[in-house]
Amino acid sequence: MPEPRTWQLTAGSAALGLVLAAAAVTAAGPWDGGQRTAERARAAAPAAGGTRHAPNPAPAAPRHPAPAPSAPGVLGALRAPAPTASAAPAGRAADLAAVLVPLLADPGLGPLRTASVVDTATGRQLYGEGAGTPMTPASTVKIATTAAALSALGPEHRIATTVTAAPDGKAITLTGGGDPTLDPARLKALAADTARALTSRGLTSVRLAYDTSLYRGAALHPIGPNENIAPVVALMTREGRLDDSHSGPAPRTADPAGDTATAFAGLLAAAGIEVTGDPAPGRTPQADPLALTYSAPLGDLVERTLTHSDNDLAEALARQTALARRQPASFEGAEKAVRDELTRLGVPVAGARFADGSGLDRRDRVSAALLTGLLTRAADPARPALRPLLTGLPVGGFTGTLAGRFDTAPATDGAGLVRAKTGTLTGVNTLAGTVVTADGRLLAFAFLAGRTVSAPEAQPALDRLSAALAGRN
């Protein structure tokens, strides 16, 4: 049975909520003062990503994933005057229900729909419709995946790719640590460092092995070979992409690790080290690495995952969580680790299922209340480690998978004010994120729809729902 609609917010608590929300919003990062330099630059990044999102042309790849850019429009709401006891902006109690109930009835959302709206300053649910009912989340499950990774490892964690020499120095092993963002530039630098280390030992010829044993179980995602995701292995370059894209669907290699090792052998040769024979799978010797390269900090990886709905990176972060919690780095181990980590965070996991980290698997289940619970915790000034969960959300009408949305009235009222993770599978459309209201509060929301007829009908309906929370309709 769907949960009854609930809304609780008094005029007295609204004034306190404004103060707390403004503090949470400022701490979250995307707004000035306190807006990060990388976000002020409004990095030119592709709008595509993730599950069934169309790719866009992209600029040259940065050395590491760029943080999610922000829209200046979010500043306006924070400058609004504090609400008075007699004020009644949209989003307050009965006003909120009066606006959301008819919008949720939009036929484009199909017969299955759930909703949760929470004031992040108080943690109170302002509106709920089946908020505790598990639904197929599509890519909004990445909120859970990234929250678990940040909680388990912290935003400064980096993923290493290493090169280690055998005791006799005649063989070396390239070892994958699970970094799908390894790119040709970093691989070349790693080869150069390796060549220098070998030369210093008087070696000019080696055999090359590559080790992917960090990951366990099936490498192929349950959906099978697909342009939305490469085989999930611990060693790869550019997510196994065979074109010049940096996000979204793309042709993928069937052997990311083998291709990376072959490329590394060629780079070693260019650096003056002969590689005898072809690279072959092997195990890493028990020794200190000759050379290594690190990914960007986990906080940056989380932002990229959310902004561009990066499936490969989401699966990698789920496995990093498994490793941190001493579980096998497999689909099954990651599922247990993510669930356990979310339980530690205190969000409702009853009925939840994390069959994968990306949301491509239709067996995934999360509730709207779980998603708003995570977003509310990320807005808590006492939990700074979770902040990339908010700063990575696409900005409505401006960035990532929301760049092409919020472009028709009345959804345009949410442009720049809504930050949200999208989710799209055939028959499933979801949206979860945050919105700054007209009176300056930061609300977390999640709207999940199932058995939808089409994305072109469902997505505008979801946009209208989130825009209505801005109190402009």
Q: Which residues are catalytic?
A: 139, 142, 309
Which amino acid is located at 149 in the chain? A
Which amino acid is located at 88 in the chain? A
**Spatial distance between the Cα atoms of 60 and 44, rounded to a whole number of angstroms:** 10
**Spatial distance between the Cα atoms of 334 and 326, rounded to a whole number of angstroms:** 10
Query: Which residues, 6 or more positions from 234, have their beta carbon under 8 angstroms from its beta carbon?
Result: 176, 177, 178, 211, 212, 213, 214, 215, 257, 329
Q: How far apart are the first and last CA of the chain?
A: 30
Burial of 69 (0-12, 13-18, 19+ CB in 10 A): buried
Distances (CA, A) of 194 to 198, 271, 313, 451: 6, 9, 26, 53
**Spatial distance between the Cα atoms of 381 and 366, rounded to a whole number of angstroms:** 25
The DSSP annotation for 234-278 comes to S--SGGGBSSS-SSSS--B-S-HHHHHHHHHHHHHHHTT-EE-S-
**Spatial distance between the Cα atoms of 424 and 51, rounded to a whole number of angstroms:** 6
Q: Which of 197, 394, 426, 184 is nearest to 307 (CA)?
A: 394
* Contact yes or no for 135/169 (Cβ under 8 A): no
Distances (CA, A) of 39 to 68, 284, 298, 443: 6, 39, 17, 21
